[in-house]
Structure 1
């Protein structure tokens, strides 16, 4: 274990033994002959006493010496010990949020019982929702993105420097061919388009990188946009000199947070390379200035940038907050099996605060009035490769409205599977100034909820479940009101 954690565990044990004996620090100081300040430093995990002083403390507190130096904690503090011994604090990206590990250790030392209750709660939540290590890492990454408004100037600059160094012109759409040439000539890659297709177990993967031979295995059924993104991401790993990385796309598992963060950095680099900032801002300005909604915009922009709808929507979450001050937005990706009535959120990002709609882990039914779900239902019934729609979603529960764009495509890797990506912009004064077509009557407004179980919209034709949670809350409120009246009457 880390030396500082051993100090902290000893300090926690000493404090617990002292309080069990109903001794103050002053009292233990008088009993042991050790100074109050020295004992305080021990309990805070800042000092570890020498053998003779441990023996003295064990004698005065009437506990065995071996028990004092053991790393085992009693059941009340066991979760704290498990947290420290697991070294999870070393895995957390604390530095990204300006937090020092010593600060957390101080919190644990000063309020161990409360911290223990908090840790136990987190563990229970993780078990209940099957919240694994990968989910924890991804939640940390999402918080990092949100704290930075999902815009990273150093990566934008890296793309500009790369384009100059390799004479890649960012005034036109990039092709996979010119990026492949850089991978092969500059970075010594070998591109293999046949091997991956021989293994049916790997049909959900688009690429695998073999570092020893610098061989990039590419799935034979990917399209030009996907191939271009894969090459751009590999260039990102190399140009940014990233060593701790993932070798499969899509990822199978993360071993540590560095891999999660570096995967994001390489993906961001790829998105900025394939969809250059200068070009996309010009297109956005032209789009927002139109008096009526141009439904062909996303279809045309997809052709212009040799990029998938998801890459375009993700890139908009970089550009809109920074260059247009449209900071209140969310991104959602949903998946759907055509033969089922189930819709699952597989990725989400919220900037400035959590917006509606958002993911819910309790198996509640998402509102079928969402445009994200409607485009999935439509594409499952059609032969189209790409469907796009727009709506204004109004949430009566909080009075907020969002302008939402959503695109749906068939999943190229799974039969009868579809996915949609959506970008939602909070309708506020800033959006009204920037979006000229906001009052276009062709854009329909829908009253929506988050999930059916929490939605009070009456007579909803597409409701999938009764508003059970609202009904329960109403019952509790009625009960509380009657209890209050009884107390007033009989007091």
Structure 2
């Protein structure tokens, strides 16, 4: 165990024994002859006393010396020992959220039994939902994004500085060739576009970076936009001087949280480089000023950049909150295999902090009225390259409305698989001010739920399962009313 944790455990034990004997710090100081400030620093885990001082404390508190120095804690403090020995506090990215480890330990120490019950509850929930270390890290990054409105000005400025230093014209589409040239000439990269195709086990990977030789292995099936994004990420790792990084795309394993966080930063840099803020903002202003939604113009905006629709939609989650003050939004990515009725929510971001339409981990059926599922069904039937649709989704149960844009594309790495991305904007006064076309009659409106099991929409033609969750809730409510009547009757 780390030395700091050994100090903490001794301090916790001393505080426990002192309070058991109803002694204040002043009282223990008088009893032992040790200063109050010294004892306070011991209890806070800042100092570890020398053997002669431990002997005095054990004598005055009537606790055997061996028991005082043992790392074994009493039952009510045992949870703290388990937490410290498990090193879970080293796993949690506390600094990311401005939390000091010492403050967290103080909270645990002051009410160990209650905090242990809380932690046990969290662990049990995590186990029931198969919540892995990977999931925890990704959830931490997502919360970090949401706390910052998914906008990071330092990275935005780094992109502008990088473009100026390497003479990249941000007013024109960026090509993979010009980024490849920088990687080779400036950072000593070697590109290999044949090796990955020899290994069937790696058919889902787009790239592998070998740091010892600075070799970037690339899958040949990638299109121009995908290759450009990977090159931009590699430039980010080098230009931002990230030592901790992931070596595959898509990534398959990590060693620590910094690798996951730096992967996000590198992806953000890549998106900001390929999809410059100034250019997108200018094009969006023209789109939003129209009295009726111009689908052709919207698709032209996407195609004007050397980026996938998914990269474009994700970039909007950075730009809309900052440039248009549209902060109540969500982003979803679904995957779907043709010929099945299963839809898997693989990625989500919620800047609105509203419940709908969050992912549901209870193996329930997502609402088939969502436009993001409609475009998936359409593209799996038509086999087109890109399907776009939009609608106003009304959530009657939450009394909220979203304007939702959604695009579906083929998965180039999985035959018969498709993916959709959706961007939902909460319809409020701010959105009505910014989007002139919002109340136009040409936008389809649809009442939606989250899952069929929790949806109260009557006579739904695409319902996949009965509303069993609502039925159960209604039954419990009726039971409570009857019990309440009985209480009144016999009181």
| Shorter-chain TM-score range | over 0.9
SS in 1 for 2:295: coil
Q: CA shift at 1:282, angstroms?
A: 1.1
Q: CA shift at 1:74, angstroms?
A: 4.4
Residues of 2 paired with 1:32 and 1:482: CA distance? 62
SS in 2 for 1:380: helix
Deviates more, 1:59-68 or 1:439-448: 59-68
**Unaligned residue ranges in structure 1 (runs of 5+):** none
Residues 76, 116 of structure 1: 8 Å contact kept: no
Q: CA shift at 1:192, angstroms?
A: 0.6
Q: CA shift at 1:400, angstroms?
A: 0.4
Cα distance, 1:93–1:78 mapped onto 2, change above 3 Å: same
Residues of 2 paired with 1:489 and 1:44: CA distance? 56
Cα distance, 1:355–1:487 mapped onto 2, change above 3 Å: closer
Q: CA shift at 1:36, angstroms?
A: 9.2
**2:225 aligned partner:** 225
Residues of 2 paired with 1:453 and 1:48: CA distance? 57
Q: TM-score scaled by structure 1?
A: 0.94
Measured against aligned partners, the alpha-carbon deviations of 1:154-183 in whole angstroms (never above 9, x if no partner) come to 111111111111111011101111111111
* Structure 1 residues 301-312: aligned runs within 5 Å: 301-312=301-312
* Structure 1 residues 53-72: aligned runs within 5 Å: 53-59=53-59, 63-72=63-72
Q: TM-score scaled by structure 2?
A: 0.94
Residues 10, 68 of structure 1: 8 Å contact kept: yes
Residues of 2 paired with 1:116 and 1:2: CA distance? 21
SS in 1 for 2:271: helix
Residues of 2 paired with 1:339 and 1:24: CA distance? 70
Residues 43, 109 of structure 1: 8 Å contact kept: no
1:338 aligns with 2:338: yes
Residues 80, 115 of structure 1: 8 Å contact kept: no
**2:329 aligned partner:** 329
**1:171 aligned partner:** 171
Measured against aligned partners, the alpha-carbon deviations of 1:125-147 in whole angstroms (never above 9, x if no partner) come to 12111111111111111111111
Cα distance, 1:476–1:355 mapped onto 2, change above 3 Å: closer
Number of residue equivalences: 489
**1:366 aligned partner:** 366
RMSD, aligned CA:
2.1
**2:152 aligned partner:** 152
Residues 209, 217 of structure 1: 8 Å contact kept: yes
SS in 1 for 2:186: helix
Runs of 4+ displaced beyond 6 Å: none
Residues 334, 372 of structure 1: 8 Å contact kept: yes
Residues of 2 paired with 1:390 and 1:307: CA distance? 20
Residues 18, 61 of structure 1: 8 Å contact kept: yes
**2:378 aligned partner:** 378
Deviates more, 1:465-474 or 1:57-66: 57-66
1:292 aligns with 2:292: yes
1:29 aligns with 2:54: no
Residues 79, 112 of structure 2: 8 Å contact kept: no
* Structure 1 residues 342-421: aligned runs within 5 Å: 342-421=342-421
Residues of 2 paired with 1:175 and 1:79: CA distance? 55
Measured against aligned partners, the alpha-carbon deviations of 1:350-380 in whole angstroms (never above 9, x if no partner) come to 1141342111111121111111111111111
**1:422 aligned partner:** 422
Cα distance, 1:41–1:478 mapped onto 2, change above 3 Å: farther
Q: CA shift at 1:348, angstroms?
A: 0.6
* Structure 1 residues 73-84: aligned runs within 5 Å: 73-84=73-84
* Structure 1 residues 447-462: aligned runs within 5 Å: 447-462=447-462
Residues of 2 paired with 1:74 and 1:352: CA distance? 44
Residues of 1 paired with 2:323 and 2:402: CA distance? 20
**2:239 aligned partner:** 239
Residues of 1 paired with 2:282 and 2:133: CA distance? 41
